[in-house]
């Protein structure tokens, strides 16, 4: 079973979050559990490509990306960079945890066990106390991987339905050098970077919504892999019941 570091007390952390609107908590998970999730992301998770074309979000499965001719891939990336000059744009790799978890026919890969942990009562109780929001009903999630050239331009995560309580990023990145980019950046009203957080292994970043932020572009010379599980704490009902993997307690699903 996965667990939060028992040394962490949500009460004092909640006061820091309330006063600053954002917080980084290091050593968030039990150490061996963080190592286990890292191994799952590195070795047992298939990576899709995500980018947007205006308001349309494109999510390309790995087998589809592998089938594309190089010229077509180059055209896609050229369009991404061209649009990024003038409008909101993002490009990164991901695994669609929520849709895969709630699709009965989808393979139950090991990362879905971590999603169940995030929505277990002990984890939800911690996040409710941390945010001071007892109305948190669930955490949505996607696994993300940023490599050289990937980025997420500035945005606020504002939700018109007001169901997002807070945003979170759980980092599973090892040995990330400070010149590689890929920092989680927060901006003030003058558009200056107020704070930039390096992806720290087993670190939780959590912040209130709306907050202007971005993920800086990963440097062309960076060779590391920026792994994370990220999403929002939500006050609306989840799309289905949790506990589908309960019969596999302690035994992660096999990767297809």
Q: For position 244, what pLDDT does the model report?
A: 79
* Lookup: tokens for 253: 């699903």
Residue 151's pLDDT band (cuts 50, 70, 90): very high
Q: For position 1, what pLDDT does the model report?
A: 84
- The C-alpha atoms of residue 51 and residue 92 are separated, in whole angstroms, by 7
Q: For Cα atoms 183, 171, 152, give the angle at the middle one, nearest 5 degrees.
A: 40
Assess whether the previous peptide bond of 218 is cis (omega < 30° from 0).
no
C-beta separation of 133 from 233 below 8 A: yes
- The C-alpha atoms of residue 20 and residue 235 are separated, in whole angstroms, by 22
Q: For position 41, what pLDDT does the model report?
A: 98
8-67 confidence digits (pLDDT tens): 999 999 999 999 999 999 999 999 999 999 999 999 999 999 999 999 999 999 999 999
The residue whose two tokens read 């369009």 is 79
- The pTM for the full model equals 0.93
Q: Is the pLDDT of residue 252 over 80?
A: no
C-beta separation of 92 from 217 below 8 A: no
- The C-alpha atoms of residue 14 and residue 205 are separated, in whole angstroms, by 13
88-127 confidence digits (pLDDT tens): 999 999 999 999 999 999 999 999 999 999 999 999 999 9
Q: For position 5, what pLDDT does the model report?
A: 98
Q: For position 196, what pLDDT does the model report?
A: 98
Q: For position 131, what pLDDT does the model report?
A: 98
Mean pLDDT confidence for 124-151 = 98
Q: For position 128, what pLDDT does the model report?
A: 98
Helix (H) or strand (E) holding 39: helix 31-43
Q: For position 249, what pLDDT does the model report?
A: 36
Domain limits, the chain:
10-235
> Residues of the chain with pLDDT > 90: what percent?
94
Q: For position 250, what pLDDT does the model report?
A: 36
Burial of 250 (0-12, 13-18, 19+ CB in 10 A): exposed
54-101 confidence digits (pLDDT tens): 999 999 999 999 999 999 999 999 999 999 999 999 999 999 999 999
Whether domain 10-235 has CATH 1.10.1200.10 = no
Residue 182's pLDDT band (cuts 50, 70, 90): very high
- The C-alpha atoms of residue 187 and residue 223 are separated, in whole angstroms, by 27
């Amino acid at each position: 079973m996965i667990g939060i570091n028992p040394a962490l007390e949500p009460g004092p952390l909640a006061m820091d979050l309330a006063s600053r609107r954002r917080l980084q908590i290091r050593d968030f998970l039990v150490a061996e559990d963080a190592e286990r999730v890292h191994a799952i992301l590195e070795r047992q998770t298939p990576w899709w490509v995500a980018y947007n074309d205006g308001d349309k979000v494109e999510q390309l499965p790995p087998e589809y990306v592998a089938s594309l001719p190089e010229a077509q891939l180059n055209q896609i990336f050229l369009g991404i960079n061209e649009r990024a000059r003038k409008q909101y744009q993002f490009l990164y790799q991901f695994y669609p945890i929520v849709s895969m978890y709630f699709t009965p026919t989808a393979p139950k890969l090991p990362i879905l066990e971590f999603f169940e942990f995030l929505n277990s009562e002990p984890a939800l109780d911690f996040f409710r106390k941390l945010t001071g929001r007892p109305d948190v009903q669930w955490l949505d999630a996607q696994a993300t991987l940023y490599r050289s050239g990937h980025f997420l331009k500035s945005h606020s995560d504002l939700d018109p339905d007001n169901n997002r309580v807070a945003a979170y990023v759980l980092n599973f990145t090892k040995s990330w050098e400070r010149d590689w980019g890929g920092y989680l950046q927060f901006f003030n009203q003058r558009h200056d970077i107020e704070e930039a957080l390096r992806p720290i292994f087993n670190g939780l970043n959590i912040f209130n919504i709306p907050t202007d932020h971005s993920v800086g572009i990963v440097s062309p010379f960076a060779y590391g892999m920026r792994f994370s599980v990220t999403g929002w704490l939500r006050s609306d009902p989840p799309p289905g019941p949790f506990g589908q993997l309960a019969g596999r307690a302690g035994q992660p699903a096999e990767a297809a």
